[in-house]
Amino acid sequence: MTRLLPRLAALCALALCTIAPPALADALEPIPDPLLRELLNGLTIISQRQDPLSVRIIVLKHFGACDGGPDPLSCPTQDAFVAVSETGQQFPQQKLYRLPPGFGWHFVDWKSVPKSLEDPKSFIVFQMKQDTIAKAAGGDSSKSGYVWGSRLFEVGVNLASGYVQAVQ
């Protein structure tokens, strides 16, 4: 029993150290900017690559719920952005492109990546899938009168321009 007491005391002291806040910690203050708060809480990088440009595909979820009535078209949408930047440069050229708003965006696949983007008609090409909502044929105005689906898009970007087109 006497050998157990020092071990028990040491465990209790260790437990108290992990519970008590550090004595020299600085308090963190919340950032009051609502736009920055929503941006950083809803942002997700869904894919990225570093050759020959840095390309990040970012989705930004809009907060809310679909329970605002029978119309699912009132559900929150999601924005998708493509951030493009030169790599290894002190002052890199950068572009930011925005895809059309949708009810959800999903990265599918990188399709082509040219070795060089010297030609402004050379693009890094990838596919994205967009969630859609449409009225069902003969559907009523209730939630059951709508059908969720998806559309496939091809996206191409470089430092000069970008495009998005539906894939059949």
Cα(84)–Cα(56) distance, rounded to whole angstroms? 7
Q: Kindly state whether residue 25 falls inside one of the protein's structural domains.
A: no
Rounded-to-5 percentages of helix, strand, coil across the chain: 20, 40, 40
Structural domain harbouring 158: 41-166
Residue pLDDT, tens place only, 106-159: 999 999 998 888 888 999 999 999 999 888 877 655 556 788 899 999 999 999
Residue 6, domain member (yes or no): no
Query: Are β-strands 162-166 and 53-61 bridged in parallel, bridged antiparallel, or unpaired?
Result: unpaired
- Is the residue at 4 inside a domain? no
Q: Is 15 part of any domain?
A: no
Does 47 map to a domain? Answer: yes
Rounded-to-integer distance, Cα 97 and Cα 43, Å: 15
Any domain includes 84 = yes
Domain for residue 62, yes or no? yes
Nearest to 116 by CA among 49, 48, 52: 52
pTM of the model as a whole: 0.75
Answer yes or no: is 116 within a domain.
Answer: yes
Residue 62 neighbours by CB distance under 10 Å: 13
How many independent structural domains does the chain possess? Answer: 1
pLDDT digits (tens, 9 = 90+) for 13-39: 555 555 655 667 899 999 999 888 888
